[in-house]
Copies of this chain bind each other. A is one copy, B any other.
Amino acid sequence: MATKPSIPKGTRDFGPVEMARRNYIFDTIRSAFKLFGYTPIETPAMENLSTLMGKYGEEGDKLLFRILNSGDFLKDAPQELLNNKESHTLTPFIAEKGLRYDLTVPFARFVVQNRNDIQLPFKRCQIQPVWRADRPQKGRYREFYQCDADIVGSDSLWNEVELLELIDEVFHKLKVRVAIKLNNRKILTGIAELIGESNRIIDITIAIDKIEKIGLEKVKEELISKGIPSDSVEKLVPILQLEGDNSQKLDRLQEILQGSETGLKGVEELRWVVSRFDDLGHNAVLDMDVSLARGLNYYTGTIIEVKALDVEIGSITGGGRYDNLTGVFGMSGLSGVGISFGADRIYDVLNQLDLYPQGIGESVKVLFLNFGEKEAEASMKLVKTLRRKGISSELYPDNVKLKKQMTYADNLKVPFVAMIGESELEEKVVNLKEMSTGNQMKLSFDELAEKFI
């Protein structure tokens, strides 16, 4: 088998440079999670399809990666389906498990399954890959990481404020300038009520979610094509074109939504959250945006989305409140609110803006060149001494031409090269070369160990 190997489309390898960059992002997010008191959990890559199906809409079900049952998987498959090649109907007979599609549904399943061991309110974070059989395209992968923080078991809007703080902290640390867009699902409900189409809330939110992408006219067309009367659609226009700062927008909405109790509740919640977050002070731009609905239908209160200000890219973080996360697994009355950092898009942003700190992904600090058996023995003892002191170092394993060893040092950007040749071995000294300056110095074996502390 001599054909060049490849990986499945939509997936990626990450080499040393990419890993250093990605770990910088993950470590920043992980530290913030810890600082804020979110405790980590992990769930299996595979879930039962009964857990996953029906949670992401019809489209989502299609995008689930399914694991073929082991062994003689066709044994119990109805012959008729096989004869007619009914792939779709056959699936449940030959695949019981699927790869997780996000971290939210596995988290809900985790909470219900471990309900007796969990202290509520439960603040959990989770950083793991998810898989979607989406058509791969720029910035969209079939395997990508999500970094989620959620609180379940508390209705308090302080949780929303804290999540905004968390977003602000992470992007400030990463030096990415962002706008946080905020809305409240109750405002959307109020709007639907206002125009007399409260049972069309899902169609309406899906359509207005697209306003930035396709513009006002297309959204109107879509709504009309969905059967919303055109006079109702017209009533929406002033709402989609709110002007001013957050406070002015909220004031205006409060007037418009006078007729809807739910709508007013949404305005009140949003005002409270915005005001507390402003009081605490923040770096991110905060932007109340009534067109923000997000694709998912399970949000019931606050809706959050984060956009990078300096790069053209979709949302890099999103979330919101869902009042009945665990209801679908038979545990009702548990409110949750959470956000998901899209690590792969954040990675794209940092790459485009080159926002990585200096020295990231540095190799070993000291490389000992290999001058032969006896010299290598002495070098390896010093390598061990340095490692004991926490200084990363290594011996070039082969006694090959120095030029080759130096090329290795250059390519790995090793800051110091240590040389113990025949004469150094006799003198019991190390010739240490600082690669950035070219400076060389002779140090005794003891001095070397002290040099880097």
Contact = CB atoms under 8 A, between A and B. Distances in A.
Contacts of A280: 380-381, 384
Contacts of A97: 8
Contacts of A3: 330
A172 B353 CA distance: 42
Given A19-B40, A44-B12, A95 B110 contact: no
A110 B67 CA distance: 24
Interface string A140-159: 00110000000100111011
A376 interface: yes
Interface in A149-205: 151, 154-156, 158-159, 161-162, 165, 169
Interface stretch (A111-119, A256-264, A416-424): A111-119
B158 A376 contact: yes
A16 interface: yes
B45 A143 contact: yes
Given A45-B131, A67-B66, A154-B397, A392 B36 contact: yes
Contact of A68 (B42, B68, B367): B68
A6 interface: yes
B393 A37 contact: yes
A4 interface: yes
Nearest to A110: B13
Given A74-B85, A85-B75, A330 B1 contact: yes
A11 interface: yes
A452 B393 CA distance: 35
A109 B16 contact: no
B328 A1 contact: yes
Q: In which size bucket is the chain A interface?
A: 35 or more
A444 interface: no
A42 B65 contact: no
A361 B40 CA distance: 10
A159 B397 contact: yes
B85 A119 contact: no
Nearest to A154: B397
A7 interface: yes
A74 to B, nearest CB: 4
Interface in A45-85: 45-48, 50-51, 62, 65-68, 70-75, 77, 79, 82-83, 85
Interface stretch (A86-94, A233-241, A305-313): A86-94
19 contacts: A1-B329, A1-B330, A5-B109, A7-B109, A8-B46, A11-B44, A11-B46, A15-B110, A19-B40, A22-B42, A23-B40, A35-B390, A37-B367, A65-B67, A67-B68, A72-B88, A77-B85, A154-B397, A156-B398
